[in-house]
Amino acid sequence: MSGAEPVIRPYRPSDRDAVAEVCLRTAASGADASGVYRDDALMPEVYALPYVDYAPDLAFVVELDGRVAGYVLGIADTADFIDWYAREWAPGFRRRHPVAGPPTEHRPAYTEAQLIADGGDPERMRIPELDAYPAHLHIDLLPELQGRGLGRRLIDTLRAALAARGVPAVHLGLDAANVGAREFYARLGFHELGSSRPEAPRLGIATS
């Protein structure tokens, strides 16, 4: 365990690979998803890299001993992101990942076929509450950074950045199997949105 204090700082383009790595290593309901899909690039290409490419100024990382080991990624205007994603990201994604491969021995509940379908379909992000909760986020910390108050600080950092832009509220979706994350968001004051379903929880919170 390191004695150094982790530092929260704005994202830099040189963090891109490390952000992808953190995404992969926390993508199996909060646990390591390495090898769960035939291509380890899939998860980051859906849930991390388009975020830092579209909104690098709303990405914040946690650096520990010179290494990025956590992040929060924010989108201020999800509707605009959907348009950008459809235009700039989905075509390349579909080219790189035309079909799902045969399942790995992990056989995840969130199948590779579904992940590939989601990666090519930004309309899945157009939730009914978008007018009231235009922003959305993803947050992930490697195990060594969890439980140290950094998740709360990252969410506070993003909420403040969104509030400063006049964005009233932020939402997120999470894996129903991720019980720890559900507890975390409840503790921070997130509430369930009307479109939330037991198998696909959706939460929101005001930015200030």
Residues that bind ligand COA (CB under 6 A): 26, 30, 139-141, 146-152, 174, 178, 180-181, 183-184, 187
Q: Which residues contact 55 (CB under 8 A, 6 or more apart)?
A: 73, 74, 75, 76, 81
Taking the least distance from each CB to ligand COA, the nearer of 92 and 180 is 180
Shortest Cβ 111–ligand COA spacing (Å)? 19
CB of 179 to ligand COA, least distance (A): 7
Which lies closer to ligand COA via its Cβ, residue 86 or residue 188?
A: 188
Residue 43 in contact with residue 27, Cβ under 8 Å? yes
Beta 135-141 vs 169-173: how paired, if at all?
parallel
Rounded to the nearest whole angstrom, what is the least distance from the CB of residue 94 to ligand COA in the complex? 25
- The residue (of 30 and 74) whose beta carbon lies closer to ligand COA is 30
When CB distances to ligand COA are compared, the closest residue is 151
Helix (H) or strand (E) holding 112: helix 112-119
